[in-house]
Structure 1
């Protein structure tokens, strides 16, 4: 429920009262004596669903920006007339409410902090996210998401589009672009310092860290977070859900990938940087497209088939830009997704074939320890580089012909050229029970055999 207070300008008092009476709204009127051009102050409670249509009707009657309107949350209204009004606006269904366009703009504006505070919070988030990715620490990365103030800007831009608020739209897009740029630049600086200090947790190939690898080679499933965040963000404003939790979702889609861009740039890995940057742009487009679409579906659009609204064309234009951009940039993600499926299938098939080969009588002394499909590391669109098969046995040398035998068994499951590498480890007998333990010894006691097409 809402409680409205409207300061009505001279000559508009009767028009306002006629509208309220036609709606069956109980009101209180008092004279306004401040001498600021207002004739009266009208106060009345209404269901939340009634705020937007009522304000729109008052605007069409000439009660526009010159009037002063205050909308306040009301806890309880005890009135038989109000109960009838609420039933009419809820159409006999739930009394849950949709926030009016006017209140929606205010809430989006409140969630967008002053730029100085926004900058400081994002810089802190960038430092924490970069440290978390370098340390491969999920907990630290989550901490960076919690403090990033990205919810307001992400929603303000689209609310500005559908409500025709150019200031809100401009602020939202400016904050989003500037925020991502700040995170990337800060991450580059911090990662450069870490590299100069010799803090390379994963050696030369920094992206083998799990938290970083999934951001530089994203697949289509990465879109789920961004799309869900955009939808949930609008619902949090229009239906009163928790904005804090939704803000973490939006930060999850933007902060870690932006930090990954900075880290890979600092390490000079252009392909990985392109992959992470592509994920950032795709997530930005996804969040905005999902938010704009949700606003449209929720009814924040021009009403009436023949209504001409200044927000209709901009809404369609931005939706087309977001949608086309997303389709174009999502193509590489689809390729990565197909590669993931192919890699999983190849590994499963390779494990079955290796077990079948080693089950043959001549290989009774050998056992399969591990079968791994390795990619070539050519980010962001990788390909299968080789299949590494690790077998254990008591003899310290390779088994003649085994690599070729395994290669011929695995080759039909691969679409392109394939390298199969067989590595041998020594199974040592220890203890009274003569238990065989796989002891991987690199260098002197490890033998390897490769089979190529």
Structure 2
């Protein structure tokens, strides 16, 4: 269940109430005249299932509520309501499967923003990955994977194509490019310092590393794992079940590959650099493609669900008229 809060000028209130009142998915409709002080207006609140959110938001945007006022949407952690239960029963689809595109898109914008926090996490994760390679430690590799913030910007590339958001594509691509360049540069600098102090020697980078050799030796399985992990990640981002994201983070080797690039640059090992760059490209390419295909499939499915629900709403409105 989702809770909808609408701040709107008084002139738009009748249109908003008419849309919400005649939608069978909407329950607990509340109108507080004059509750908004600046800018002056009314407050309208309602509850509705996740499955109905997209169509309701689309109708509100169609009459310009977002330009004259604002629309807030948030989950209801727990609720007890027969009316709410009935509204979920008449709404096609499952709440866990429903994709709230406004929520997914906003999260993609926020987590694809190029800022100091993003760059710091990228740099720290890449540093840990570099240390993991020197020590040949799978545990540290996993830690670096979990810490890296690059998955959502990669998924945002596919989302931007599906939802036709060129600005989101630009934001995500810029964050990925600048993030990896900065993270590799920082890790290379630290590797050069470690080399000068004698803490890291070339044999630690070139010697057999059974626990971390996969980082710079991409093969068909690297691409297949990237496809599967990104599909699972896209489903976690768009559904009500987000537990799958941690599994995605520790399935692909983007951050470890960046750490190995940094070590290769510090000791100038072209084979290590080339293999790691290829691993990075294979993982990012596979994740971007799989994310795009998964989101495109979800949009196709939920477009049919939305059309079915809107036909039901129109028939209901016609009977009430």
Q: Provide the secondary structure at the position in 2 that maps to 1:31.
A: strand
Give per-residue Cα distances to partners, 1:382-430, cap 9 Å, x unaligned: xxxxxxxxxxxxxxxxxxxxxxxxxxxxxxxxxxxxxxxxxxxxxxxxx
Greater shift in the superposed pair: 107-116 or 78-87: 107-116
Check if 1:249 corresponds to 2:243: no
Question: Which residue of structure 2 lines up, in the alignment, with residue 32 of structure 1?
Answer: 34
TM-aligned CA distance change 1:140 to 1:201, over 3 Å: farther
Question: Which residue of structure 2 lines up, in the alignment, with residue 84 of structure 1?
Answer: 86
Give the C-alpha shift of residue 163 in structure 1. 3.2
Figure out how many residues of one structure are paired with residues of the other and give that number.
Answer: 301
TM-aligned CA distance change 1:47 to 1:205, over 3 Å: closer
Question: Which residue of structure 1 lines up, in the alignment, with residue 174 of structure 2?
Answer: 174
Give the C-alpha shift of residue 272 in structure 1. 3.1
- Asked whether the 8 Å contact 2:99–2:302 carries over to 1, the reply is no
Unaligned runs of 5+ in 2: 305-321
Question: Which residue of structure 1 lines up, in the alignment, with residue 65 of structure 2?
Answer: 63
Question: Which residue of structure 1 lines up, in the alignment, with residue 148 of structure 2?
Answer: 148
Give the C-alpha shift of residue 293 in structure 1. 1.3
Give per-residue Cα distances to partners, 1:338-377, cap 9 Å, x unaligned: xxxxxxxxxxxxxxxxxxxxxxxxxxxxxxxxxxxxxxxx
Question: Which residue of structure 1 lines up, in the alignment, with residue 134 of structure 2?
Answer: 134
Greater shift in the superposed pair: 155-164 or 62-71: 155-164
Give the C-alpha shift of residue 166 in structure 1. 4.4
Question: Which residue of structure 2 lines up, in the alignment, with residue 332 of structure 1?
Answer: none
What CA distance in whole angstroms lies between the structure 1 residues aligned with 2:205 and 2:126? 22
Give the C-alpha shift of residue 208 in structure 1. 2.4
Give the C-alpha shift of residue 69 in structure 1. 0.9
Q: Provide the secondary structure at the position in 1 that maps to 2:74.
A: strand
TM-aligned CA distance change 1:69 to 1:209, over 3 Å: same
Question: Which residue of structure 1 lines up, in the alignment, with residue 3 of structure 2?
Answer: 3
What CA distance in whole angstroms lies between the structure 2 residues aligned with 1:205 and 1:39? 65
Question: Which residue of structure 2 lines up, in the alignment, with residue 217 of structure 1?
Answer: 217
Q: Provide the secondary structure at the position in 1 that maps to 2:253.
A: helix
Give the C-alpha shift of residue 294 in structure 1. 1.1
- Asked whether the 8 Å contact 1:111–1:151 carries over to 2, the reply is no
Q: Aligned runs of 1:247-286 on 2, under 5 Å?
A: 248-249=249-250, 252-286=252-286
TM-aligned CA distance change 1:291 to 1:165, over 3 Å: same
Check if 1:72 corresponds to 2:74: yes
Unaligned runs of 5+ in 1: 305-453
TM (normalized to structure 2)? 0.81
Q: Provide the secondary structure at the position in 1 that maps to 2:68.
A: coil
Give the C-alpha shift of residue 76 in structure 1. 4.1
What CA distance in whole angstroms lies between the structure 2 residues aligned with 1:177 and 1:148? 14
Give the CA RMSD over aligned residues.
2.9
Please say which structure displays the higher CA radius of gyration: 1
Q: Aligned runs of 1:27-426 on 2, under 5 Å?
A: 27-32=29-34, 34=36, 36=38, 39-91=41-93, 94-112=94-112, 115-198=115-198, 203=203, 206-239=206-239, 240-242=241-243, 245-246=246-247, 248-249=249-250, 252-299=252-299, 303=303
Question: Which residue of structure 2 lines up, in the alignment, with residue 408 of structure 1?
Answer: none
More helix by share: 2
What CA distance in whole angstroms lies between the structure 1 residues aligned with 2:46 and 2:5? 7
Question: Which residue of structure 1 lines up, in the alignment, with residue 316 of structure 2?
Answer: none
Higher relative contact order, structure no. (Cα contacts within 8 Å, ≥ 6 residues apart): 2
